[in-house]
Amino acid sequence: MNVETPVFTTPDEQVAWLGTDPIPAKAYYDPEWFELERQAIFMRSWIEVGHACELPEPGTWIRRELEFADASILIVRGKDDRIRAFYNACTHRGTQLVEEESGKGANFLCPYHFWNFGDDGRLVAAPDFKRFAPLTKEECSIPKVAVDTCAGLIFVNLDPEPKHTLREYLGEYADRLETLPVAKATTFHEYVYEIDANWKITYDNFQENYHLRHVHGLTGVATVHQQNQYGYPDKYTFNGPHRTQQIWVNPEPLIKPMQGYNLGLVANDCAQQGIMGSPDSRTYFALFPSLFIIGTPMQHFSHKVYPISATKSRGVFRIYWVDDDDSATRRYAREYALCSLRDIHTEDVNIINRAQKGLLSGAIKKIHFMTMEGLCRHLYQQVVARVEDYLEEREAAGETA
């Protein structure tokens, strides 16, 4: 008996409101435009930098480098269990306090003149401090950075007075994120890359499926079907500057024998953990400005794109897991999941490089997004809106752009 597969309908109508205008190519390589993005967006948005499982107990800390701000940030779980963030810089003469990526300890000792700071950034002790009079220790706390968590993910905001709380910023997606496995994650795989490409070119690659069948012809063959030859999503949603796509389920995926066996082990494990089948298990969240997280428990990855310059960025992929490896089968299944995802993402990095190179001459004045690249268009429009707001604010304040 032939079982009819459901008819797939491309959700063009859901992105029609975004329009069809060409996009100025300069926004994807121009240093002056990048500087506006940096000031208008990255220096005052909530930026994801890690996960609470990296701070498992009081006294643990992590260091994060944010190139777009030339900033090194320490994120600390204090003795009171609160997570705080402050700059990795001594208030004496600015020396970086730590070089390690993570650690544990109640204090941060500057190696230069042994100023000693507590886990809340306050100056606790400094040799021969009386000779700094009238300076007081209270005046020497390290500048704080706004920090908060959602679904276990740690976000910082470099604006000294953020306009929105993290919850306000994420809007209705915040509660949905809290239902994802990442909220309960205890460990993760991580792989990183640096790329000679603008952050939007890099990010856009991961929010359209038009390229899947061309770039991932071997690794992503399970995503295409005669009903949906490009593996397009079946739904889009928008929430302020953020957006989602709902991953289409291929009714007849082409799966290789060991691929099926291995992914079956992951699925069984997730099912036993009770993390399969959540309402957002097919949702791919694109959180402004440059974070992705996918709800799929079996390949539950996040991807952050950090800008470095107009034509350089850094990406961090993580595959989050609930509970540590406790058996050979779980360890094997998870290692395969890593290999499987990383192989696909590797193919993306190569094509992104080429996408940037082609724009650098300036010969291409405009680029074009079709309807199923609507999320890329939405990102560009959100970027422009924030840059315009920023310029208006500066003008109102009497500053020149």
* Of the candidates 232, 192, 190, 220, the residue with the CA atom closest to the CA atom of residue 14: 232
> What is the number of other CB atoms lying within 10 angstroms of the CB of residue 394?
14
Interaction between residue 346 and another protein (CB under 8 A) = yes
* By the rule CB under 8 A, 190 interacts with another protein: yes
For the CB of residue 340, give the shortest distance to another protein in the complex, in Å.
6
Kind and range of the H or E run holding 333? helix 328-359
Least distance from C-beta 306 to another protein, angstroms? Answer: 14
Burial of 134 (0-12, 13-18, 19+ CB in 10 A): exposed
Strand ranges, E, within 151-294 = 153-157, 187-195, 235-239, 242-246, 283-287, 291-294
Site string for another protein, 236-265 (x = CB under 8 A): --------------------xxxx-xx---
C-beta of 101 vs 168, nearer to another protein: 101
Distance in Å, CB of 217 to another protein, minimum: 9
324 touches another protein by CB under 8 A:
yes
Phi and psi of 109, rounded to 5°? Answer: -105, 120
102 binds another protein (CB under 8 A): no
Q: Alpha-carbon distance 272 to 269, whole Å? A: 5
Q: Which two tokens stand for residue 16?
A: 């029609």
Distance CA 1, CA 5 (A): 13
Of 21-29, 85-93, 185-193, 275-283, which segment contacts another protein by CB under 8 A? 185-193
Q: Between 176 and 334, whose beta carbon lies closer to another protein?
A: 334
Select 93 or 331, whichever has its Cβ closest to another protein.
Answer: 331
Q: Taking Cα atoms as reference points, which of 66, 50, 41, 7 lies closest to residue 313? A: 66
82: tokens are 């609160």
Asked if residue 328 binds another protein (CB under 8 A), the reply is yes
Which residues are CB-contacts of 267 (< 8 A; sequence separation ≥ 6)?
Answer: 276, 298
Choosing from 213, 342, 381, 394, the residue that interacts with another protein (CB under 8 A) is 342
Out of 65, 67, 234, 325, which residue is the one contacting another protein (CB under 8 A)? 325
Check residue 210 for interaction with another protein (CB under 8 A): no
Residue 218 interacts with another protein (CB under 8 A): yes or no: yes
Q: For the chain, what's the residue count? A: 401
CA 328/CA 125 separation, integer angstroms? 49
Q: Tell whether residue 327 is a contact of another protein (CB under 8 A).
A: yes
Q: Which residue from 153, 195, 266, 287 is in contact with another protein, where contact means CB under 8 A?
A: 195
Q: Does 114 bind another protein (CB under 8 A)?
A: no
Non-local (6+) Cβ contacts of 274 within 8 A are none
308 - beta bridge partners?
none
**DSSP label at residue 264:** H
- Does the footprint of another protein cover residue 391 (CB under 8 A)? no
Residue with tokens 């193919």: 347
Can residue 339 be called a binding residue for another protein (CB under 8 A)?
yes
Indicate the residue among 5 and 346 with the shorter CB distance to another protein: 346
C-beta closer to another protein: residue 315 or 374: 315
- Positions touching another protein (CB under 8 A) are 187-195, 218-219, 256-259, 261-262, 317, 321, 324-329, 331-332, 334-336, 338-340, 342-343, 345-347, 349-350
